[in-house]
Amino acid sequence: MSAPSVEKGIQFIREQIDAPVASFFSSCVHCGLCAEACLFYGQTGEAKYTPINKVEPMRRIWEQEYTLWGKIKSSLGLSRKVTEKDFEEWETLVYDACSLCGRCSLICPVGNDISDMIRKIREGFAAAGYAPEGLIGASKRAVEIGSPMGVKLPAVKAQIAHLKKDTGLDAPLDLKGADYMVLLSSMEIMNFPEYLEAVARIMRQAGKTWTISSKAFEATNAGIQIGVSDIAAELVQRVVDAAEELGVNTVISPECGHAFTAIRWEGPNLIGRPFKFKVQHILEVLDDFRAEGLLKTEGLEEAKLTFHDPCQLVRKGGVVQQPRNLLNMVASNFVEMRDHGAMNWCCSAGGGVSANERADEVKFKAFNQKKSQLDELGVDTLVTACANCRIMLEEGIEEHEMDLPVVGLTEMIADHLVEERVEDKAEDKNE
Amino acid sequence: MTSEALLTWARGPGFDLALAIFVLGMLLRLFEILSLGNKPDLAEGRGSGVVGGLKTIITRNWPRGTVFAREPVRIINGYVFHLGFFIVLFFYGPHIELFQTKLGLSWPGLPTGVIDAVAVITVASLVLALVMRLTSPVLKQISSVGDYVAWAATLLPVLTGYLAYNHMLVPYTQMLALHLLSVELLLIVAPFTKLTHMFSFVLSRWYQGYQAGHRGIES
């Protein structure tokens, strides 16, 4: 890669401008309603956090280069070119105060996909060298080591060994022809080993074969978050190569929001061809198992609990009903938050915000939105399906000294499996 | 130039010129958008992009409750001046006669008393929109000269039409000429300001809706 520069940044932004982006800027009437959808504006009251304002440099480049009127204005010296100062000023708007949650896109009266434009403008900021240190580091580690948190294969193997020792369950590495190839997020490997155990138990009950690739176990994609398509494509390619080499039927994206968007929706577009396998989020897989009668549970959680919808699952991924079906199998007192589902509020740390320490202050302010949703309900347990949301929710809850455990949904389902009968079945099959 | 001569010019060559700029300008804007192209989505879809696109073109006419609750006045006011503008444009008798001579189409109008009241409401609504733009920190942040030009270009035809009909301020012929000139101003600035949204909103809603439909997500 050539050295970062403002010219390069502008060039990268220019390349992102397509017909949808041009239609969005043409249609924007500056009504400001996107601000009302944004938790960063809502919780800070700072007008600069108005979503459409976050892509103002891109709007100027579009107007000056792709419209006749803009060209006339430029030639008369009536428009301001995008400069180094703009990159400096907008960097925090683009990275720190946007979790790419997509609420603004859903409320825009003229249908502008603003969060997608912010995802796009990041390409220019990263190319110009105006990206947060935390995300630059995460992207480098993802490319060089294979995980944004620097997790290597031995750590995965150690977790598999633990799993065998503690439960007798196996997590087969590189099993050719398996039904499913399971991806993990670094956070699940480091902080939430219960996810792997839950998957192992559920797969055993469902009677499905599954595997983890030693070459591509990491699901997260720092390239998407920082906005470097080359890196994003390379990370996707690793998963694609592994899945095709093993000949698996379906790749399962773990309890992580952006990882699902990255592999499910951006993936084929990044590598320039459709996949030869299916991609599902773990919740889609579990809900399929439920519908096919492969998921047998017993007992109900009695605690009053609610579900935090990860943005990338509901707004970008279309996974809305599945967690509700699953929760209703195992919970007797499941209540919904205000604005749940497609309009749920972000945990405040998505879209790379969690990897960007500089954003800590604004992130914790933005968390107050989630806090107010939770305070209204007064629940005993918070369930979610994204390791990144989970970490943020735990941090925010701790900051406010709230007493509220956060649980992953997959793990909760696994806790209610009727296992004896299935164990016999699995053993019969194996012998 | 007398008021009569000005009116004759504004009704004839002036109007034709403004209309030509409007039509060609809008076509240019649409060409500028569409010529940039849009890559096909290679991800395996869950549903129909076309259905999603068409659906979003319709459904974005209504606000979501969660945002409406935060800005009810701004949102209702938006409906008021859009509807008011459409009513005076399309349901005032003399306007319908004009459309009939130009397009050969005719439809029933509304009583002039109603049109008169709607014009007042529309002007008031536009004034409120301006006050909000000048006072709200968010709107100030995202506003530029173009917003005020578009605002004035929208207000003037309604205002001059009202003044002409009620024979106020200046003699009727003169005000009617000003009314026609203000309409011509609106036609000329529309393709070069945010007023382009009168057509491009279909495209922007379509693009987001198409992707949502293809991916099986809400839009």
CB contact set of B151 (below 8 Å; sequence gap of 6+)? B126, B129, B130, B133
For testing contact with chain A, the best of B60, B217, B218 (most A CBs within 10 A)? B217
pTM: 0.94
Amino acid letter, residue A158: A
Which chain A residue's Cα is nearest to B79?
A: A109
**Chain B residues touching residue A267 (CB < 8 angstroms):** 43
- Cα angle vertex B202, ends A48, B110, to 5°? 105
A305, A325, A413 from A405: Cα distances, Å: 10, 21, 16
- Say whether A23 and B200 touch across the interface (CB within 8 A): yes
Closest Cβ–Cβ partner in B38, B44, B70 for A19: B38
Which chain B residue's Cα is nearest to A38?
A: B67
Which chain A residue's Cα is nearest to B69?
A: A36
**Chain A residues touching residue B133 (CB < 8 angstroms):** 30
**Chain A residues touching residue B201 (CB < 8 angstroms):** 27, 109-111
**Chain B residues touching residue A108 (CB < 8 angstroms):** 60, 208
Provide φ and ψ at B84, rounded to 5°.
-60, -45
DSSP three-state, residue B136: coil
The neighbour count for residue B171, using CB atoms within 10 Å, is 11
For testing contact with chain B, the best of A17, A27, A43 (most B CBs within 10 A)? A27
Does residue B115 lie in a domain region?
Answer: yes
CA distance B34 to B16: 27
Amino acid letter, residue A83: T
Does residue B34 lie in a domain region?
Answer: no
pLDDT of residue B187: 98
pLDDT for A383-401, tens place per residue? 999 999 999 999 999 999 9
> Would the pLDDT of A422 be above 50?
no
Nearest to B88 by CA among B101, B98, B75: B98
Closest Cβ–Cβ partner in A18, A35, A41 for B38: A18
For testing contact with chain B, the best of A14, A21, A26, A46 (most B CBs within 10 A)? A26
Provide φ and ψ at A358, rounded to 5°.
-60, -25
pLDDT for A23-59, tens place per residue? 999 999 999 999 999 999 999 999 999 999 999 999 9
Which H or E element spans position B58?
helix B49-59
Tokens of A300: 């109900």
CA distance A372 to B218: 25
Which chain A residue's Cα is nearest to B72?
A: A33
Longest CA pairwise span in chain B (Å):
67
Residues of chain A with pLDDT > 90: what percent? Answer: 93
pLDDT of residue A367: 97
Closest Cβ–Cβ partner in A66, A110, A339 for B32: A66
CB A195 within 8 A of CB A212: no
A4, A323, B154, B214 from B161: Cα distances, Å: 56, 57, 12, 46
CB A196 within 8 A of CB A280: no
Residue listed under structure tokens 């309890």: A255
> Would the pLDDT of A92 be above 80?
yes
Domain count, chain B: 1
Closest Cβ–Cβ partner in A50, A268, A314 for B43: A268
- Say whether A27 and B204 touch across the interface (CB within 8 A): yes
pLDDT for B63-98, tens place per residue? 999 999 999 999 999 999 999 999 999 999 999 999
Distance to chain B for A44, nearest Cα, Å? 12
Q: What is the pLDDT along chain B (219 residues), one digit of tens a residue?
A: 788 999 999 999 999 999 999 999 999 999 999 999 999 999 999 999 999 999 999 999 999 999 999 999 999 999 999 999 999 999 999 999 999 998 899 999 999 999 999 999 999 999 999 999 999 999 999 999 999 999 999 999 999 999 999 999 999 999 999 999 999 999 999 999 999 999 999 999 999 999 999 999 999
| End-to-end Cα spacing for chain B | 55
- Say whether A107 and B63 touch across the interface (CB within 8 A): yes
A37, A266, A339, A340, A388 from A343: Cα distances, Å: 9, 22, 5, 6, 19
Q: Running DSSP on this structure, what letter comes out for residue B161?
A: H
Closest Cβ–Cβ partner in B142, B203, B211 for A53: B142
Q: Running DSSP on this structure, what letter comes out for residue B151?
A: H
- Say whether A17 and B78 touch across the interface (CB within 8 A): no
Residue listed under structure tokens 């034709």: B16
Residues A403-413, mean pLDDT to the nearest whole number: 96
Nearest to B38 by CA among B218, B210, B212, B219: B210
Provide φ and ψ at A145, rounded to 5°.
-100, -30
CA distance A151 to A111: 40
For residue B126, the domain's CATH number is 1.20.950
Does residue B176 lie in a domain region?
Answer: yes
Closest Cβ–Cβ partner in B28, B139, B201 for A30: B139
**Chain A residues touching residue B218 (CB < 8 angstroms):** 106, 314-315, 318, 320, 341-342
Distance to chain B for A232, nearest Cα, Å? 15
pLDDT for A122-181, tens place per residue? 999 999 999 999 999 999 999 999 999 889 999 999 999 999 999 999 999 999 999 999
pLDDT of residue A140: 94
**Chain B residues touching residue A322 (CB < 8 angstroms):** none
pLDDT of residue A192: 87
Count chain A–chain B contacts defined by CB atoms under 8 A: 168
CB A116 within 8 A of CB A106: no
Confidence of residue A427 (pLDDT cuts 50, 70, 90): low
Distance to chain B for A314, nearest Cα, Å? 7
Q: Enumerate domains of chain A plus CATH numbers.
A: 6-131 (1.10.1060), 145-293 (3.40.50), 305-415 (3.40.50)
- Cα angle vertex A142, ends A84, A245, to 5°? 135
Closest Cβ–Cβ partner in B42, B137, B200 for A274: B42
Distance to chain A for B2, nearest Cα, Å? 34
| End-to-end Cα spacing for chain A | 54
pLDDT of residue A420: 59
Q: Which burial class, exposed, middle or buried, applies to A192 when counting CB atoms under 10 A from its CB (0-12, 13-18, 19+)? A: buried
Give me the sheet containing A406-408, strands edge to edge.
A305-308, A381-384, A406-408
Closest Cβ–Cβ partner in B39, B67, B141 for A50: B141
Nearest to A222 by CA among A313, A131, A158: A131
**Chain A residues touching residue B57 (CB < 8 angstroms):** 111
Does residue B40 lie in a domain region?
Answer: no
Distance to chain B for A193, nearest Cα, Å? 30
pLDDT of residue A3: 72
Quote the ipTM score: 0.96
Closest Cβ–Cβ partner in B35, B196, B217 for A316: B217
- Say whether B136 and A48 touch across the interface (CB within 8 A): no
**Chain B residues touching residue A275 (CB < 8 angstroms):** 44
CA distance A28 to B200: 9
Distance to chain B for A53, nearest Cα, Å? 6
CA distance A35 to A47: 8
Domain that holds residue B55: 3-21+45-215
| CA A65 to chain CA centroid, nearest Å | 33
> Would the pLDDT of A431 be above 90?
no
Does residue B194 lie in a domain region?
Answer: yes
Amino acid letter, residue A44: T
Distance to chain B for A25, nearest Cα, Å? 9
pLDDT for A323-379, tens place per residue? 999 999 999 999 999 999 999 999 999 999 999 999 999 999 999 999 999 999 999
> Would the pLDDT of A421 be above 60?
no
CB A26 within 8 A of CB A32: no
CA distance A110 to B63: 11
Which chain B residue's Cα is nearest to A267?
A: B43
Average pLDDT, chain A: 94
**Chain A residues touching residue B209 (CB < 8 angstroms):** 111
Closest Cβ–Cβ partner in A19, A267, A318 for B36: A19
CB A308 within 8 A of CB A383: yes
| SS3 assignment for chain A | CCCCCHHHHHHHHHHHCCHHHHHHHHHCCCCCHHHHHCHHHHHHCCHHHCHHHHCHHHHHHHHHHHCHHHHHHHHCCCCCCCCHHHHHHHHHHHHCCCCCCCHHHHHCCCCCCHHHHHHHHHHHHHHCCCCCHHHHHHHHHHHHCCCCCCCCHHHHHHHHHHHHHHHCCCCCECCCCCCEEECECHHHHHCCCHHHHHHHHHHHHHCCCEEECCCCCECCCHHHHHCCHHHHHHHHHHHHHHHHHHCCCEEEECCCHHHHHHHHHHHHHHHCCCCCCEEEEHHHHHHHHHHCCCCCECCCECCCEEEECCHHHHCCCCCCHHHHHHHHHHECCECCCCCCHHHCCCCCCCCCHHHCHHHHHHHHHHHHHHHHHHHHHCCCEEEECCHHHHHHHHHHHHHCCCCCCEEEHHHHHHHCECCHHHHHHHHHHHC
